[in-house]
Structure 1
């Protein structure tokens, strides 16, 4: 990891360092000004939701947080989106060198930058635009890795290795991702911290208010989510009464919509019809706000995550499902293997509708199985509320400040 604490930065950040300062006879705690580099609402994606939740938990007032929002193309500044958050100061536009300069200047006005890394959100080859920003920062940078590929291309490996070298600290959300950083990328783990994905506080319910049997998948829809395997599994559950309903909630991912339209959604609906479960599969194309999503989760008997990816290091949907105490059936992507190992769900092979159907049947028809999974989920999520996760990021910031002072 590269520590970048220049004298000018030291003078700047001393006003805000998270140390106690004494004024007269009154002791107070100075405020840290956090900078965030990520997609951000009104953009609808997992990283935007993650950063909004983390910044809300870390920042007490908007003037204590600065967001540099990552965009594919400039927005019309004459007609700002009314949903835009007030702490967004500027945008980093993919491939725009002037916006890279503005982004760097905005972040350098903060005490610490929290940078979300995902290959697909930044400009350049494999998102290497982010390297220009990190190299120009004069403040500590905490980089949060959302994807750690097990078999990267040479250039993907170079980009992630450089991201880690330029960071003051690296955060991953699973021990599997941490181990891969050492094994695949040769990263020194001394500067790597494992902090779980945060979740909204959802109390475990004693009973399911839904009158039937409901399996739920949610999130932005795109090929690779494996919904077709879930539908094929549903075709093997038609003998269960009351009937099992499969709800697939979420609008199509904007990038998919731009180049392929609704072809994936149309294919899924056709498949359900061909398999004779069209009336049991409900495709809800809305983007669900927090209250609507909470109601959907509360109505579920099982959350199904049939993802095709074998590399997915983190899943906010998985974290929220476990936090809500809903049994989960998921394919064997790394976050699921790790999070469900305590008994909060069942891991099944990828693209295997037979195994998926068997796991769903076991949970839906076995109340004691579901109860044991809920109890395991409660034990698993005690420390993953956003407030608890924010405290972990504050601790990383404090360690960086202490290292600077030393």
Structure 2
């Protein structure tokens, strides 16, 4: 149960990839999807859907999930209806099969309602998956979790990438930021850093369409703001925008051509970043602000960490990656060490084993329990 294509968001893309690879590593298996409709979706779907305006949707969703051996429920604030997404609980309380809940956000300082809903969601799960150790630690330290052993870490998956040579010999270095665009991505800080890099003549490519929810509320105001910032800073000739939604092959080709991936995110809360995992799987050097997932994955040398909202630090880190002999190659080697565990087949196998443990325990005891 999750948002799902044709909805264009990171959660929908994650779920589609997990579903595809999970069935691929489990011969003879099948799957069903209960699609959570975003506010920007039409009120129709090819798959069963949870929708706050459709009577009987919760019961229908539970019925579909109860016809499976295991239900996998993606949790993110903002996708479910009700106060703080409480409608997810309306489905969970009706499930009679083991449940794996995947947490995409764990807040440090939730509102009372957010805390109550997340604790209830966790309580209804046989197993809870976080995608970083930072998220697991935050959950166990800040929330009431009756059985900490049921919280396991399985990384965000990535498409295994063929090795590719970055850039073009003698050409302009390509700095890449990609993903659905919206305030909080911190792209303005990347643009502000370019003034100190003029001698390198970089191309800073910001790829990805505006997030559908952002587009519905404010149109292209943020992208216009970024263009204005580039012009005001005298670096408009160094910044390019590709507003297309990139499919898997096109995105892989683009990432393969990048010399360095820049993640200048504003948030210090982010415990999961699919873009970061994809960059590492593609063996790309990364410069990122110190959000928790980046601190965890880049600490051993796959990238450089910089303070939030600090163009000078971003510029210095990018210059190091682009000019310091051997640094980019060392980062690529470290990413290669991380890559196998981040590949979708490896990630799907871990979900398969987790689901198998839940089903086996259910058969033995009538209660789904997982321990680490």
TM-score, scaled to structure 2: 0.93
Match of residue 20 from structure 2: 56
Match of residue 192 from structure 2: 232
- The 5 A counterparts of 1:7-406 are 37-60=1-24, 64-72=30-38, 75=42, 77=44, 89-94=47-52, 96-187=54-145, 188-209=147-168, 211-240=171-200, 243-406=201-364
Larger Rg, first or second structure (1 or 2)? 1
Cα separation, 2, equivalents of 1:369 and 1:285: 31
Given that 1:115 and 1:141 are in contact with CA atoms closer than 8 Å, whether structure 2 keeps it comes out as: yes
Q: Say what the alpha-carbon RMSD is for the aligned residues.
A: 1.6
More moved, 204-213 vs 352-361 = 204-213
Unaligned runs of 5+ residues in structure 2 are: 365-372
Cα separation, 1, equivalents of 2:167 and 2:237: 22
Given that 1:213 and 1:364 are in contact with CA atoms closer than 8 Å, whether structure 2 keeps it comes out as: yes
Q: CA deviation at 1:207?
A: 4.9
Considering Cα pairs closer than 8 Å and 6+ residues apart, tell me whether 1 or 2 has the greater RCO. 2
Q: Secondary structure of 1:116's partner? A: strand
After superposition, the C-alpha distances for 1:133-153 in whole angstroms (9 at most, x for unaligned) are 111111111000000011111
Given that 2:69 and 2:359 are in contact with CA atoms closer than 8 Å, whether structure 1 keeps it comes out as: no
Cα separation, 2, equivalents of 1:71 and 1:298: 33
Q: CA deviation at 1:303?
A: 0.3
Match of residue 370 from structure 2: none
Cα separation, 2, equivalents of 1:205 and 1:256: 34
Given that 1:229 and 1:352 are in contact with CA atoms closer than 8 Å, whether structure 2 keeps it comes out as: yes
TM-score, scaled to structure 1: 0.85
Cα separation, 1, equivalents of 2:173 and 2:298: 22
CA change 1:58–1:364 in 2 (3 A) is: same
Cα separation, 2, equivalents of 1:94 and 1:219: 28
Unaligned runs of 5+ residues in structure 1 are: 1-36, 81-87
Q: CA deviation at 1:275?
A: 0.3
Q: CA deviation at 1:208?
A: 3.5
Cα separation, 2, equivalents of 1:385 and 1:289: 18
Aligned length: 359
After superposition, the C-alpha distances for 1:232-285 in whole angstroms (9 at most, x for unaligned) are 011211122xx1010000000111111101000000000000000101100111
Cα separation, 2, equivalents of 1:116 and 1:374: 31
Q: Secondary structure of 2:175's partner? A: strand
After superposition, the C-alpha distances for 1:44-75 in whole angstroms (9 at most, x for unaligned) are 11011101111001124898110011103573
Given that 2:131 and 2:153 are in contact with CA atoms closer than 8 Å, whether structure 1 keeps it comes out as: yes
Cα separation, 2, equivalents of 1:383 and 1:158: 33
After superposition, the C-alpha distances for 1:108-141 in whole angstroms (9 at most, x for unaligned) are 1111111110011111111111011111111111
